[in-house]
Amino acid sequence: MTDTAGFLATTRTFYDAIADDYADHFQDGYTRRPLERALLTAYAELVGDKGTVADLGCGPGWVTGYLAGLGLPVFGVDLSEGMLAVARRENPELRFEQGSMLELDIPDGELAGVVSWYSSIHTPMDRLPDLFAEFHRVLAPGGHLLLAFQVGDEPRHLDRPWGHPVTLDFERRRPDRVVELLVSAGFALHSQAVREPDESLGDTAPQAFLTAHKASRAAD
Ligand SMILES: C[S@@+](CC[C@H](N)C(=O)[O-])C[C@H]1O[C@@H](n2cnc3c(N)ncnc32)[C@H](O)[C@@H]1O
- Best mutation site among 119, 147, 162, 207 for ligand 1 pocket (most ligand atoms within 8 Å of CB): 119
Among 21-30, 96-105, 123-132, where is mean pLDDT lowest? 21-30
C-beta of residue 40 within 8 angstroms of C-beta of residue 209: no
66 or 31: which leads in pLDDT? 66
Which domains are seen in the chain, by residue range? 4-192+199-214 (3.40.50.150)
Residue identifier of the C-alpha nearest atom 23 of ligand 1: 57
pLDDT score for 26 = 80
| Nearest Cα to Cα of residue 108 among 49, 188, 186, 44 | 186
In the predicted structure, residue 30 carries a pLDDT above the cut 80: no
pLDDT of 136 higher than 70: yes
Cβ neighbour number for residue 194 with a 10 Å cutoff: 11
pLDDT at 219 over 50: no
pLDDT of residue 5: 60
Q: Write down the mean pLDDT value for the chain.
A: 94
| Ligand 1 atom at minimum distance from 119 CA | 12
Q: What confidence score (pLDDT) does residue 9 get?
A: 95
Residues with CB under 6 A from ligand 1: 8, 11, 15, 26, 57-60, 62-63, 77-80, 83, 100-102, 117-119, 122
Ligand 1 atom nearest the C-alpha of 83 is: 27
Let me know if 32 is exposed, middle or buried by CB neighbors in 10 A (0-12, 13-18, 19+): exposed
Q: Which of 1, 8, 100, 122 to mutate to test the pocket of ligand 1 (most atoms within 8 A of CB)?
A: 122
Contact yes or no for 160/129 (Cβ under 8 A): no
Q: How many A from CA of 17 to the centre of ligand 1?
A: 13
Mean pLDDT of 151-169: 90
Atom of ligand 1 nearest to the CA of 26: 9
Contact indicator for 106, 54 with CB cutoff of 8 Å: yes
Out of 78, 98, 172, mutate this one to test ligand 1's pocket (max ligand atoms within 8 Å of CB): namely: 78
pLDDT, position 220: 47
Q: 188 to each of 52, 112, 131, 141, 213, how far by Cα in Å?
A: 20, 15, 16, 11, 5
Average pLDDT over residues 150-158: 91
Q: Residue 27: what pLDDT?
A: 77
Q: What is the Å distance from ligand 1's center to 50 Cα?
A: 25
Q: What is the DSSP letter of 151?
A: B
How far away, in angstroms, is 11 Cα from ligand 1 center? 8
Instruction: Provide the pLDDT for residue 36.
Output: 96
